[in-house]
Amino acid sequence: MLLAGRGDHPRQGLGGAQSYVVVDISGTEAVAGVDPRTHKAEPLALVPRHGDDDDVLAPQLARLSDGEWVLAVPRKDGRPDRLYRVDRKAGKLVEQGEHEALHAILPARTLIADAKGLDGSGAATEVLVKDAKSWKVQRKVKVPGSLAYASADPASDTVCLATGSSPDVTVHALDLAGGKLTSGPGPKGTDVQGVACSGGTPVAAGVTEASADGEPPAEATLKITATKAGTTITADTGRIEDVQAQDGTSTVAVALAVGDRTEIVEVDTRTGKELRRTELEGAGTLRALRHTDGGWLAYTQDAVSLVDRTTGKERTFGLPGAYVAG
C-alpha cells in the first residue's frame, strides 16, 4: 500500500473523498481519505515526524469552510503545534507554520475559533478568533469555566461551548464576528456528554443522571427540550459517544451506546421529533461521527460505517489503519 510522504510519489485517485482521518498503519501515522460513494478509505500522505513531537496528544484534523483540510501536530513541552494543509490533489501535507498548543480548531463560516482547553484545565477558556485565510488573530474572548465540549456552526460565525462538569455545566454561544457571548445554565438532571452547534444555537446532549434505585431501561428513549441556553437532547440510558449537526438544517445526529449496541439517532431540533434510528452492525467503541453529503460516517477503531440519511441503512468498510483522529 503506497503512502505519499516526504519524497514519496503522491497517492492519486482520492478525488471523491468527503472526509479525512488520521490512522496508524503499523506504527506510522498517515492521513487517509474516505469516499462514502465508493465505500473506500485509502491513505493519502504520511504525517511528517520530528523529534519534539508529542507522542501522547493526538493530532487535530479539521475541515475549513472553503473545503480545505488542515492538520495540527502537537509538540512537547507546550511548544506550538506544527500546522499542515492537506494538499489532496498532490497527495501530500504542506507545512503552514505554527498553531497554538492545546487549542481546539473550530472552523466557522468566515472565521476560525481556537479554544484553549484540550488539557481540561483553567478557570477560564481562551478563545482566539482568527481570519480564515490569514489565520491572524482578530480578537480574544474569555469564556468563564474550563472547556468541556465545543463545536462550530459552519453555516454561521458562531461557536457553541460547554464549560464545567455535571451537574454544574454552563452552555455558551459565541458570535465570532462581534465577540458577543451568550451564556446559560446547562440542563438540570442531565449528565452532559457532548455539544453541537445547529443554526448558531447550542445543542447539549447527555444522559439522565443516575438514580440510586431502579434498573436502567434496556432501550434508550430520547427527549428533546428547548431551554434558555439552547436545545437539550437527553437519553434515559446509555452513553452519548458523539453529537453532530447537519450543516444548514435543524437535523442533529446522536451516537448513542447502550450496552454493546451503538445507534445513530437523528432528531429534528425544531420540531422535537426523532427522525430515524440506525443500529450499527458489529460496531466497537465509536470514535467519531461526521456528516457528509453521502450520509453520516461513524468511525470505530478499524472501520467506518456509512449511514444513509434517507433509508437509514448502513454499510461498513475498513480503514487502512487504526483510527487516531479525525
Tens digits of residue pLDDT in 144-195: 999 999 999 988 999 999 999 988 999 999 999 999 999 999 999 999 999 9
> How are the residues of the chain apportioned to helix, strand and coil, as percentages rounded to the nearest 5?
0, 55, 40
**pLDDT, position 219:** 81
Q: Is the pLDDT of residue 220 over 60?
A: yes
Neighbours of 228 (CB within 10 A): 9
- What's the rounded Cα separation, in Å, for the pair 68 and 192? 31
Residue percentage of the chain with pLDDT more than 90: 81
Cell, residue 228: 434558555
Please, what is the average pLDDT of the chain?
91
Stretch 127-137: mean pLDDT, rounded?
A: 95
Q: What are the tens digits of pLDDT across the range 37-72? A: 999 999 999 999 999 999 999 999 999 999 999 999
Confidence grade of residue 120 (pLDDT, cut at 50, 70, 90): low
Position 5 pLDDT exceeds 50: no
Q: What is the pTM of this model?
A: 0.89
pLDDT band at 310 (very low <50, low <70, confident <90, very high): confident
pLDDT for position 222: 96
Give how far the C-alpha of residue 130 lies from the chain's centroid of Cα atoms, to the nearest Å.
19
Whether 323 has a pLDDT exceeding 50, the answer reads yes
The contacts of residue 178 (CB under 8 Å, 6+ apart) are none
